[in-house]
Structures are given as structure tokens and as C-alpha cells.
Amino acid sequence: MKLKAPVDVKWIASFVNAQLLGDDRVQADGINEVHKITPGDISFVDIEKYYNRLLESEAAVIIMNKVVPCPKGKALLITEDPAAAYVKLVKHFAPFEPATQMISNSAEIGEGTIIQPGVFVGNNVKIGTNCLIHAGVVIYDGTTIGNNVTIQGNSVIGGDAFYFNKRNHSELKYLKLESCGTTLIEDDVEIGACCTIDRGVSGVTIIGKGTKFDNFIHIGHGTIVGKNCLFAAQVGVAGKVIIGDNVLLYGQVGVSKDLVIESNTVVLAKSGVGKSLPGGKVWFGIPVQDAKDKMEELVWVKRIPELWDKMKSEF
């Protein structure tokens, strides 16, 4: 998330009550979690395996819980609870704005778009031309929807990310990392009934042009779905997944977080994707594997009783 204006690191340190190390002249112009860093960002780290990743990133201000040498041109803010400091900043710069009506006055709705009764359209939403939004749909603040998009009833677009920081030092078991990202639905997309597409924690969740979703599909925070993809019912995709163009996911496919599924991939029904997949192949199974190999394996599994009886008769 980019800020409206750069912020001085001395003010940030005072606001989150942190010790300032490094360059005290630094200014920050954005807030991002570790996976979405851009130049000039504020970010945080409280897990040692991510220390170097963030220190070597383009972040200008790093909130962390350990004193380390500060890279040139950066500022470190040392605090016992970096996640809480990050959340405090997000709430300050992206505060929740309560709705006062079903369709916000700040929403922009294009010519020819039909909004059925019972649709909620939040603040600063942009909807293009010739869209059809069916009853019961909820479109959260900051969402952008392109032209010729259809959204079937009771789907939720741009809800908060499922993103929590586990606590080891307080009665609160999990701290919610507030979402300040957005959601982008490109042109010619169709979203079925009862789908949920979460916005990014600090970046953008994108559904590419021409992609079609069946009913009861979930897309996690910060995931990017390419163009002309086809997802059947009950597909679930976790956060920060990158899916290429022309990908076909059959019913009840589950995709784990932080993976890449390359273009022209097909994953057959009820498969569990726990690794990144090269494009142009068909996959199947839990865990997923080459579909042809999996089918051959299933043939042999069905023959186990026959082979077992044969083995017993020979001994």
C-alpha cells in the first residue's frame, strides 16, 4: 500500500515507540508485508529466517525485534512486538471507514452496469461498464472491477486476508494483521455464486481477464490468477499463489500457499497441489503428480487383493 505522502522515520519511531537505528533521514512512502516489498516501504519481521530477506530488500524502514547492523540507507526500528507496531501503522494510514448506505457515494459505476437489489458496494469501489452484479453480493472498499464482469449471488469480493501473527507472549493467541491491500477483477470475468476473493494484506489480489469461476470458490490474499482460466466448484487457492494463463482446475482442487502454477496446466478433481507445477501438463492426486503416472498407480492398487491371493497360494 502506498501512502498519500512520504513519512519521516523519526515520526514513525515515535508513533510505534521503537528505538531508531541507522539513517534517521529516511522517509517511507508505503507499507507492505515481507512478501510484497517495493522501494521505500515500511515492513516488519519477527522471525529469524526472514531477517536477511528483509534487510536485503528494498524496504526503507524495517521494524524488527533484534538489534543487527543496519544496511546503508535504511532505518531499523527495534521493538519487542514488530507485528503490533505494523498493525498500528496500518490502522493509522488505512483506517476502517464504516458504511452509511448500501452503495457508497464514493463508488464509481460504469454505464450499462446493473446492480441488483441487496448488493453492497463499499467505499472507493470502481465498477466498469456493462457489468451484472446479482443480489447479495458484497464488494468491499477499494475493489476495482473491469468491464463486462458478471458476479453471481452472495459472492464476497475484497474481504480481509486470513493472516494472523501467532503470539507467544500474551493472552491473545493470534494477532490479526489488518489488511490494507485491494482486489482487482479484470474485464470479461465471471464469478459464480458464493465465491470469496480476499484482498491482499498490503498488495493486490488479481483475477485475470476472461477467467471464469464456478460456485463456492475461494481465492486467498495476494494471489494472482492469469487470463482465461477456468475453475470448477469448490476450488480453494491459498494466499500469494501465482497462476498463469489458461489454467484449468477441476472441482475441489486445493492449492497451498506461495506456489506457482504455470500456464496451460490442468489439475484434475480432488487433487492437492503442494508444490509448484510446470505448465502444459495434466496433474492428479494427493499429493499431486503426473496424471498418467497416478492413473497407472491406481490400476496397480486395485490389483493388490488379486496379487495378495496369488502370493498366498504360492507359499
Q: Read off the pLDDT of residues 157-214 as tens digits, 9 standing for 90 and up.
A: 999 999 998 887 667 889 999 999 999 999 999 999 999 999 999 999 999 999 999 9
Summary mean pLDDT of the chain? 95
Task: Give me the catalytic one of 35, 134, 218, 221.
Answer: 221
Say what the pLDDT of residue 244 is.
98
Q: Which residues are bridge partners to 31 per DSSP?
A: 42
- Give the β-pairing of 174-176 and 196-198: unpaired
Residue 315 has pLDDT above 90, yes or no: no
Measure the N-to-C terminal CA separation of the chain; round to a whole number of Å. 70
Greater confidence (306 vs 144) lies with 144
Mean pLDDT on 134-152? 98
Pure H helices in the chain: 9-16, 51-55, 82-93, 291-302, 304-314
Residue 236 has pLDDT above 90, yes or no: yes
Domain 2-93 has CATH 3.40.1390.10: yes
Nearest to 143 by CA among 200, 102, 190, 91: 200
Portion of the chain with pLDDT greater than 70, in percent: 99
Whether 221 is a known active-site residue: answer yes
Q: Cell digits for 70?
A: 543496519
In which residue are the cell numbers 508513533 written?
A: 15
* Superfamily of chain region 108-284: Hexapeptide repeat proteins (2.160.10.10)
pTM for the full predicted model = 0.92
Specify the range with the lowest mean pLDDT, choosing from 49-58, 165-174, 201-210, 286-295: 165-174
Q: In which band, very low, low, confident or very high, does the pLDDT at 301 lie, cut at 50, 70 and 90?
A: confident
Say what the pLDDT of residue 151 is.
98
Residue 262: phi and psi, rounded to 5, are: -75, 170
Domain segments of the chain as ranges: 2-93, 108-284
